[in-house]
């Protein structure tokens, strides 16, 4: 494969709703801010920093938070728009469990004021925000302070979901092994992608963090490109090393061919109290919103199990039960979802129709999401038709229509009718771009799960439909979206189109194509990933190729490429990504362990050497 042209790639970002949907269908990138560059000059007089992992179990710290965001858009097919979000919160954080791998934390986010202003028209959305954040958020945090995973209901309004992620990210401090050094850097993640964060001490109890370089490894399907992003986070510490005051501000400009948006965000956090209390665990929630341990094991046959669970249950009764459950009781809500699933299976279409009517008129968005999750779990033809009907009903809340599409794309047994309906929705000019794009991505996910015989029924769309969409696309945006949907199918018939896209001049398209190889089992996909990881002229595309190796077993070819990138890539950030992927595959893998050992001793950059040493000795490989 030839070396690609070295073109400065831009970050692709889309609407918050589309990004939320893509999180369900796209690469399962962990919600982690991975330690990267561990090094720097030591300041022996400085206070040792204590990340949240070092807080005592049950010790609750509360912060008053103010957030102000302004977004100005120009161009495109819409008039110029200005949107502003002003909000005040009380944010509390308390560890509730700890082991050698890190700490689990309970985060409570209580909005006291949330105001949204669109083109001068203000609306108070405080009540909706309080409802959305009624359930606590759970974090899994490494000993370094890096957030490894965020457990949060994915069906929360995308704007509020992004707000919560921003606030949690602002609180994060990732520390080096020597917590008194003057400077260090790490790889972190915010709501738009991964970046290299550079830390430096500006005083004995003062820190400053700046974004040095984005890795641009988020989904490029919509065609918006990051033009510029700058900003600084300043932290003041207590003498104990705990953050007491945080001021974060950044400005970002993103653009497409005919549109441009500027976003300015300010976050201020002030420590207001520290309490010792009993640890309060939080149910760790799966990405699709159900509790990890809500469904009990059973030796019964499925039909008998569902019939027993549905016995005596009604949709109206379960809706009443759900309304009486504390919003923070995730286990009880998941139990209701399980009973709804059983009722849909046992009682059939009448129960499904009653549930769809409940969703349309539900006063609680949270309760509606429980019902939609249960419809996905049931996976009966009637349940799938109900979700399709919600998407097509303009009277249904927009967030519920998007959530219905997400559940359709995640379903395990899509019918031919569902596949045809998703195709129709993806082409419907009456729907907005968010809904059409999410429908196409859902179609890709459904095709991956569908029985091959189903796609042979009449005019049911197949992988060929998505191939035609990519081939006939009239814009880069449309082609990227089609490639992303093809990646969701994991079908080997997509290989030729993805291979061709790897020769495109636009780095964003190449990044989308190489990411879409992640689930394709054909050995040629391994060859393309290896060649791109070593040969693409843009470092961000090479990093994406390495990132795709997380989702597939290593072959001799891809392992050799991983080792080569780790030892020889000219970009230190790519070498850091290679270390991260090596950690993922390093169990009983002597060549990868040897490559990490070599990097820890001989890499030209101190940050890479230190990261490799940390990977070898911190137990991450286990």
Helix, coil or strand: residue 6: coil
Q: Which range has the top average pLDDT, 28-32, 337-341, 532-536?
A: 532-536
CB 168 within 8 A of CB 267: no
What is the per-residue pLDDT for 244? 85
Higher-scoring residue by pLDDT: 473, 219: 473
The answer to which of 67-76, 165-174, 204-213, 339-348 has the lowest mean pLDDT is 67-76
The answer to which of 182-191, 252-261, 435-444 has the lowest mean pLDDT is 252-261
Q: How confident is the model at residue 259 (pLDDT cuts 50, 70, 90)?
A: low
- Determine the average pLDDT of the residues in 226-240: 73
User: How far is it, in rounded angstroms, from Cα 328 to Cα 331?
Assistant: 9
Q: How confident is the model at residue 340 (pLDDT cuts 50, 70, 90)?
A: very high
Give one DSSP letter per residue of 70-91, joined into a string. EEEEEETTS--EEEEEEEEEEE
Q: How confident is the model at residue 305 (pLDDT cuts 50, 70, 90)?
A: low
The 10s digit of each residue's pLDDT in 408-430 is 988 888 999 999 999 999 999 99
- Determine the average pLDDT of the residues in 441-462: 88
Place of tokens 């990977």: 615
Closest CA to 231 of 252, 256, 213, 245: 252
Tokens (6 digits) for 474: 């009239």
pLDDT > 50? residue 219: no
What's the N-to-C CA distance of the chain in angstroms? Answer: 35
* 315-324 vs 330-347: helix crossing angle, rounded to 10: 180
User: What dihedral do alpha carbons 587, 590, 596, 602 form, nearest 10°?
Assistant: 170
The answer to which of 91-105, 376-390, 469-483 has the lowest mean pLDDT is 91-105
In percent, the amount of the chain with pLDDT more than 70 equals 76
Other beta carbons less than 10 A from residue 165's beta carbon: 18
- Determine the average pLDDT of the residues in 351-374: 91
Mean pLDDT of the chain: 78
pLDDT > 70? residue 141: yes
The 10s digit of each residue's pLDDT in 7-18 is 222 222 222 222
User: How far is it, in rounded angstroms, from Cα 614 to Cα 485?
Assistant: 37
Q: How confident is the model at residue 194 (pLDDT cuts 50, 70, 90)?
A: low
Tokens (6 digits) for 136: 């606590």
Tokens (6 digits) for 42: 């030591």
What is the per-residue pLDDT for 217? 40
Burial classification of residue 402, based on how many CB atoms lie within 10 Å of its CB (0-12 exposed, 13-18 middle, 19 or more buried): buried
Question: Which pTM value belongs to this model?
Answer: 0.54
* 433-449 vs 16-25: helix crossing angle, rounded to 10: 0
Tokens (6 digits) for 495: 């290989």
The answer to which of 16-20, 582-586, 611-615 has the lowest mean pLDDT is 16-20
What is the per-residue pLDDT for 282? 52
CB 219 within 8 A of CB 239: no
pLDDT > 90? residue 267: yes
User: How far is it, in rounded angstroms, from Cα 17 to Cα 221?
Assistant: 13
The answer to which of 223-227, 505-509, 566-570 has the lowest mean pLDDT is 223-227
- Determine the average pLDDT of the residues in 212-223: 49
What is the per-residue pLDDT for 394? 94
User: How far is it, in rounded angstroms, from Cα 557 to Cα 348?
Assistant: 50
Q: How confident is the model at residue 37 (pLDDT cuts 50, 70, 90)?
A: very low
The 10s digit of each residue's pLDDT in 53-111 is 566 777 788 899 999 988 776 655 545 567 889 999 999 888 877 766 677 888 899 99
* Domains of the chain by start residue, with CATH: 29-276 (2.30.230.10), 302-617 (1.25.10.20)
What is the per-residue pLDDT for 486? 93
Which H/E stretch holds residue 147? strand 147-151
Q: How confident is the model at residue 517 (pLDDT cuts 50, 70, 90)?
A: very high
User: How far is it, in rounded angstroms, from Cα 337 to Cα 377?
Assistant: 9
Higher-scoring residue by pLDDT: 286, 152: 152
- Determine the average pLDDT of the residues in 140-169: 79
CB 438 within 8 A of CB 403: no
pLDDT > 90? residue 275: no
Paired with 262 in beta bridges are 72, 253
What is the per-residue pLDDT for 3? 34
Q: Which range has the top average pLDDT, 43-52, 163-172, 272-281, 567-576?
A: 567-576
């Amino acid at each position: 494969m030839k070396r690609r042209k070295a073109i400065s790639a831009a970050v692709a970002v889309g609407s918050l709703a589309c990004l939320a949907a893509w999180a369900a269908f796209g690469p399962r990138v962990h919600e982690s801010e991975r330690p990267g560059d561990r090094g720097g000059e030591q300041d022996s007089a400085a206070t040792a920093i204590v990340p949240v992992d070092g807080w005592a179990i049950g010790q609750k710290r509360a912060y008053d938070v103010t957030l102000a965001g302004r977004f100005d858009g120009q161009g495109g097919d819409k008039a110029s728009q200005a949107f502003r979000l002003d909000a005040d919160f009380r944010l509390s954080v308390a560890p509730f469990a700890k082991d050698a791998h890190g700490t689990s934390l309970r985060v409570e986010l209580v909005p006291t004021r949330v105001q949204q202003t669109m083109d001068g028209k203000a609306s108070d959305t405080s009540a909706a925000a309080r409802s959305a954040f009624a359930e606590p958020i759970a974090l899994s945090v490494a000993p370094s302070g890096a957030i490894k995973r965020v457990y949060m209901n994915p069906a929360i309004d995308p704007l509020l979901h992004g707000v919560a992620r921003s606030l949690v990210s602002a609180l994060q401090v990732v520390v080096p092994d020597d917590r008194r050094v003057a400077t260090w850097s790490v790889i972190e993640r915010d709501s738009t992608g991964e970046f290299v964060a550079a830390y430096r001490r500006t005083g004995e109890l003062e820190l400053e963090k700046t974004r040095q370089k984005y890795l641009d490894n988020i989904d490029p399907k919509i065609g918006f490109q990051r033009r510029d992003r700058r900003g600084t986070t300043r932290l003041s510490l207590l003498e104990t090393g705990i953050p007491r005051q945080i001021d974060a501000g950044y400005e970002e400009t993103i653009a497409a061919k005919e549109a441009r948006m500027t976003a300015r965000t300010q976050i201020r956090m002030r420590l207001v109290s520290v309490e010792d209390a009993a640890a309060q665990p939080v149910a760790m929630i799966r990405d699709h919103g159900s509790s990890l341990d809500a469904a009990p094991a059973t030796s019964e046959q499925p039909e008998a199990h569902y019939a027993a669970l549905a016995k005596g249950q009604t949709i109206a009764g379960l809706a009443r039960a759900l309304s009486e459950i504390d919003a923070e009781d995730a286990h009880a809500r998941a139990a209701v979802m399980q009973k709804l699933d059983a009722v849909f299976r046992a009682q059939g279409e009448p129960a499904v129709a009653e549930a769809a009517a409940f969703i349309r008129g539900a006063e609680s968005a949270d309760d509606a999401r429980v019902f939609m999750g249960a419809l996905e779990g049931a996976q009966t033809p009637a349940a799938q038709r109900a979700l399709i009907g919600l998407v097509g009903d303009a009277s249904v809340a927009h967030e519920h229509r998007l959530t219905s599409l997400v559940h359709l794309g995640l379903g395990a047994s899509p019918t031919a009718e569902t596949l045809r309906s998703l195709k129709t929705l993806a082409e419907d000019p009456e729907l907005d771009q968010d809904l059409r794009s999410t429908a196409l991505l859902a179609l890709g996910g459904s095709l991956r799960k569908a029985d091959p015989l189903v796609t042979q029924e009449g005019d049911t769309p197949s992988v060929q439909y998505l191939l035609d969409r990519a081939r006939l696309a009239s814009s880069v945006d449309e082609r990227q979206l089609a490639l992303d949907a093809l990646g969701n199918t994991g079908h080997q018939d997509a290989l030729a189109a993805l291979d061709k896209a790897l020769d495109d001049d636009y780095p964003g398209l190449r990044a989308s194509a190489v990411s879409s190889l992640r689930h394709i089992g054909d050995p040629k996909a391994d060859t393309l990933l290896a060649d791109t990881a070593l040969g693409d002229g843009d470092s961000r595309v090479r990093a994406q190729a390495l990132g795709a190796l997380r989702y597939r077993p290593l072959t001799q070819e891809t392992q050799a490429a991983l080792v080569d990138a780790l030892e020889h890539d000219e970009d230190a950030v790519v070498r850091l990504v290679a270390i991260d992927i090596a950690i993922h595959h390093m169990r009983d893998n002597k060549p990868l362990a040897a490559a990490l050992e070599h990097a820890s001793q001989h890499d030209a950059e101190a940050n890479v050497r230190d990261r490799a040493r940390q990977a070898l000795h911190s137990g991450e490989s286990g």
